[in-house]
Structure 1
Amino acid sequence: MDRLEFYRETIENVLKKHADIPYSYGEIDEYLIVDRDRNHFLLLDVGWQQKRRVHGCLTHVQIIDGKIWIQRDGIEDGITEELVAAGVPPSDIVLGFQPPEVRPYTGYAIA
């Protein structure tokens, strides 16, 4: 299996585990949206909580130029450590939600 396919499967497996965890309050469903052709992976929340509509992107991950870019990470403990534990080197993970000037201090790739 080549690196791109390994990254696609790893991201999808990590996010699927989170999508399968039911919310403990409200009527909220979580959907895993995968676009393998364009290398986008999203967790989307849809539903109602205390008469308030919930609809938004919880997590957005992309593969850009062979690196995993975490554009948004709304998971409680984050997904970076899960990706590393699954075999993705930190040098191939970019915390895209961090400003470029902060990235050199994160322990992950800068771009």
Structure 2
Amino acid sequence: MDKLTNYRTLIKQILTEYNNLSSQSSSCKTETCLVFDENNDHYLWLTVDWEGSKRHKYTRVHIRIKNNKIYIEEDWTEEGIATDLLREGIPKEDIVLAFHPPDVRKFTEFAIA
């Protein structure tokens, strides 16, 4: 399996596991959605809900693949998606914490771009 195919597979697997765990929680009353766009390499885990007549949508995780690296655009998980990716063998130099401004990324252990 080539690198990009492996990255796509791992990202979808990790987000599916989070979604399944979330939906099994008895306290969870919100609906979650997985969005996998392999053509443009965007992967999202969303929460949608209603509070009275007001619609709420939250992006829990947004990952994209760009320049053969995994860009974590948004991550509201407890341990962080980067931890899961590292556990699966993705090297730090292939993970960009894109939720940090570019000038701050150099202070992380991960790729800057």
Instruction: Tell me the TM-score normalised to structure 2 length.
Output: 0.89
User: Aligned with 2:90: secondary structure?
Assistant: coil
Maintained 8 Å contact 1:40/1:62: yes
Between structures 1 and 2, the one with greater helix share: 2
RMSD: 1.5
Q: Answer whether contact 1:26 1:48 (CA < 8 A) is retained.
A: no
Shift of 1:58: 1.1
Structural mapping, 1:72-87, within 5 Å: 72-87=74-89
Q: Which runs of 4+ in 1 moved over 6 A?
A: none
Deviation digits for residues 2-61 of structure 1 (CA, Å, limit 9, x no counterpart): 000000001111111111122553520111100001100000101236x46431211100
TM-score, normalising length: structure 1:
0.91
Contact conserved, 1:28 with 1:54, CA < 8 A, in 2? no
- Contact 1:59/1:71 (<8 A) preserved: yes
Counterparts of 1:99 and 1:9 in 2: how far apart (Å)?
A: 27
The sequence identity of aligned pairs, in percent, is: 37
Question: Which sections of structure 1, spanning at least 5 residues, go unmatched?
Answer: none
Task: Give the partner amino acid of 1:100.
Answer: P
Partner of 1:91: 93
Unaligned ranges ≥5, structure 2: none
